[in-house]
Structure 1
């Protein structure tokens, strides 16, 4: 899972934020300290043996997105752009680009396929004593066990 989490973070780095904004910090682990805006992989569940002989496992990966709150409206506009289903700042589009071409494995060969399935938890979050605006993205990943 460590390699899968790192590959998802690498894919998320492809987002293009509007001019004047810092680059999106992306990591495959939960960071001690956040440099906002920040995307990181967090919780996951694994359903083993979806096909016989360890042929398929299914992972539901929950990723966290945290935005600084210096300006509440600007923060919400940025969060909305990152959570959009398409566009240059869309995390969904950036992560799903790592699916590869038809017939190729996803995440550079680490998975059969992936799909960003849900956004939830659009609210204030506290991380190490600092408040952020944020949301969670859920990614379904399937691959050999």
Structure 2
């Protein structure tokens, strides 16, 4: 797996999410931005397990992505975040990202990985990024691919 390609393609998949009516478009990037234009989705840290199959046949990685929403109005910001964290539907990041798995038998992320799965949401809380507070959460995305 080429990690930079995987990061960029996860962000591209996330950009297909449909935002709630009246909410700004979701800004998506494969890397941690210096400054956030909310709402924002970005791929942050990742952990890798090498050699999951004999002779470098497969690696697996857990990518931590964050979604941050501005807090001009605390309730509406949390409602937008809740919508993005739904398990299904056009406004679901899980649905948008997992659509990049491809059809059965196809490689995921346009050939950058064998498969992926959004495992969980964690850390629903206030985040500070470059001195500004946002309500946000983390998505853990499990990706497997060639070693």
Asked if these proteins are the same fold (TM beyond 0.5), I'd say yes
Alignment correspondent of 1:90: 92
**What is the RMSD computed on CA atoms of the aligned residues?**
0.5
Q: Once the two structures are superposed, what CA deviation does each residue of 1:38-75 show, in whole Å capped at 9, x if it has no partner?
A: 00000000000000111000000000110000111101
Deviation at 1:19?
2.2
Separation in 1, partners of 2:100, 2:28: 15
Structure 1 gap ranges (5+):
none
For the 8 Å contact 2:67–2:137, the answer to whether it is kept is: yes
Separation in 1, partners of 2:20, 2:10: 22
Alignment of 1:61-140 (within 5 A): 61-140=63-142
SS at match of 1:9: helix
Q: Does 2:7 correspond to 1:42?
A: no
Separation in 1, partners of 2:129, 2:34: 8
SS at match of 1:105: coil
SS at match of 1:6: helix
Structure 2 gap ranges (5+):
none
Could you tell me the TM-score, scaled by structure 1's length? 0.99
Deviation at 1:21?
1.5
Could you tell me the TM-score, scaled by structure 2's length? 0.98
**Segments ≥4 residues shifted beyond 6 Å:** none
Aligned length: 145
Alignment correspondent of 1:5: 7
Q: Once the two structures are superposed, what CA deviation does each residue of 1:18-45 show, in whole Å capped at 9, x if it has no partner?
A: 2221110000000000000000000000
